[in-house]
Amino acid sequence: MQLEQILKNRRQEKEILLMTHIVLGYPSFEVNRQVIRQMVENGVDCIEMQIPFSEPMADGPVILKANQESIAAGTTIADCLEFGAEMADTYDIPFLFMTYYNIIFKYGEEKFLQQTQDAGLKGLIIPDLPPEMGEDFFRLAEEYRIAPILIFAPTSTDERMAELNHWAKGFIYCVARRGVTGRKSEFGDDFGTYLARCRKATDLPLAVGFGIQDRADVQALKGKTDMAVIGSRTIRLVEEEGPEAVGGFIAGLR
């Protein structure tokens, strides 16, 4: 089943879906396993697994540090593909890869998409690949049934949103504010207007990320979006309290 339909089916059962983010190989693949198990057992609907890159431009200091330490520990693309296949085979939720285009370009676009499909993953988030530079890649992604997740931002014009929607599959990732990941977001009138523009621009499910940190943030998004994305907060939690703290945190978000 395609990612969009999986999420729409799950959305019928919940007021809002949850997507979480991990950096593969940080602090280790074994800790990744422990964290993902707790996330799934406590109701996460979709997990975004980041293949580490040396210059993750959309990411704040927490995820940047995680990328750098994973690379320093020797994490490879092959490791990530193997781990992704293991997770997709173990749990009945959709898994995505998130990374930057240079990783895929050097590995080989078609080879990467083929192996991502073989691993059972449902989508890709590549923040630095706009449609104008990736038309062939997006066509290949459709051929291999891997949903390219595109990103709306508060600075996106209505015309830009329409263009992105033309290429997007699965869902639209709506950035809650300008800047990078990790800093807490506020949900005032301007945010409501922005989300209304996002909803008007697409029939795909909407996910909101960047700065979603606690239950209050998730509650504020109910009725406004389909999915909340929690990233840096869980990585910090693992660093500060250990992987065993993740389950209770996730369970308390909705």
Quick: pLDDT tens for 54-113: 887 767 788 889 999 999 999 999 999 999 999 999 999 999 999 999 999 999 999 999
Residue 119 in tokens: 């691993």
Q: Please indicate, yes or no, if residue 73 is contained in any of the structural domains.
A: yes
Please give the single-letter amino acid code of residue 168: A
Q: Please indicate, yes or no, if residue 119 is contained in any of the structural domains.
A: yes
Q: Nearest 5°: CA angle at 22, between 18 and 28? A: 145
Identify the H or E element spanning 49: strand 46-50
Contact 180, 59 (CB under 8 A): yes
Q: Please indicate, yes or no, if residue 254 is contained in any of the structural domains.
A: no
DSSP 16: S
**Pick the residue with more confidence: 227 or 183?**
227
Confidence of residue 177 (pLDDT cuts 50, 70, 90): low
Q: Please indicate, yes or no, if residue 95 is contained in any of the structural domains.
A: yes
Residues known to be catalytic? 48, 59
CATH code of the domain covering residue 124: 3.20.20.70
In this prediction, residue 180 carries a pLDDT of 41
Query: Domain count of the chain?
Result: 1
196 Cβ contact list (under 8 Å, min separation 6): none
Phi, psi (degrees; rounded to nearest 5) at 243: -65, -25
- Alpha-carbon distance of 183 to 201, in angstroms, equals 26
Neighbours of 100 (CB within 10 A): 23
Q: Please indicate, yes or no, if residue 8 is contained in any of the structural domains.
A: yes
Q: Please indicate, yes or no, if residue 227 is contained in any of the structural domains.
A: yes
For 147, the domain range is 3-249
- Alpha-carbon distance of 75 to 156, in angstroms, equals 34
Q: Please indicate, yes or no, if residue 37 is contained in any of the structural domains.
A: yes
Q: Please indicate, yes or no, if residue 96 is contained in any of the structural domains.
A: yes
